[in-house]
Amino acid sequence: MTEIDARIIDLLNKGWSYSQIQEELQVSSKTIAAARKAYFPVVESNNGELSSDTFQFLPQPPPNLNENPLKQNQFKTTNQKIKKMSTENEYYEDDDESTSKLELEKYRLKLAHELEMEKIQIAREDKEREHYLREQEIEKEKRKGEEEKRSLLFRIKKVIDSCEDAEYSYEDAENLLEEARKVFYESEKYCFIIQITFQGSVSHTLLSKIISTLTDFLDGMDEDESGELEFDSAFRRQVSRFDFLSF
């Protein structure tokens, strides 16, 4: 038995309540209940002597008919005190249990709230990440489209720059015609995909003129021949106004 337990038992023997002992010794009701369960009431030892670690408590013999009214009243008062102390003990034990359940429920609700907030935060971050990746993909596609556009305009410029008034062999004219047709087809495809009008644009007009002029030139030649090729003034005026920045 510890010193605290001994003092608890001593105060219980004196009829103190749980709340009075808690205030006096600064201990919990559970500590008082444990000491009471272990040491109170303490039965008589075998040798009938008090040891240093044990309190002796001799149970009251039942009153007989010959006892005087004073002793009977004392016995009745003692029983009432014991019943009162037992009721107080049960009250404090029930109160502690209720408090523990309430604290546990509060903690459970707190954890559930934190988990829900964490889920919301994760969902928000996933949505923001998805939006960011989508924007990056759109920007990437936009840059890719611009690069493809500049590449096609550069090829159109090379074809037009190659169209000089000069003597062309059949092979040179045929190669220039093949490249003009490829650029024309790829430009038409690009404009269709990005939904802009190709027909009637300056590049469409110039490429159509080049293809028509080279086709007519080759129709009147054999493969081993060469000839003078000239592009008309209307073609040259259009070329001078073309900035090669758009179709």
Write out pLDDT tens, residues 87-110. 555 555 556 677 888 888 899 999
| CA dist list (Å): 133 to 38, 56, 122, 127, 129 | 69, 82, 16, 10, 6
Cβ neighbors of 18 (< 8 A, separation 6 or more) are 29, 32, 88, 89, 92
Confirm whether 246 is domain-assigned: no
Residues 105, 190: one domain? no
Task: Note the pLDDT of residue 220.
Answer: 78
Any bridge partners for residue 166, and if so which? 229
**Inside any domain, residue 136:** no
Q: What is the pLDDT of residue 174?
A: 94
Q: Are residues 174 and 231 in the same domain?
A: yes
Confirm whether 125 is domain-assigned: no
pLDDT at 47 over 50: no
- Within-domain flag for 135: no
What's the chain's average pLDDT? 81
7 is a domain residue: yes
What's the pLDDT score for residue 84? 58
Contact in structure between 210 and 156 (CB atoms under 8 Å): no
pLDDT tens string 169-228: 999 999 999 999 999 999 999 999 989 999 989 999 999 999 999 999 999 788 888 899
For residues 107 and 8, membership in a common domain is answered with yes
- What is the domain count for the chain? 2
Confirm whether 181 is domain-assigned.
yes
Same domain, residue pair 109 and 14: yes
Per the DSSP assignment, residues forming a β-bridge with 167 are 228
Provide the domain limits for residue 217.
149-241
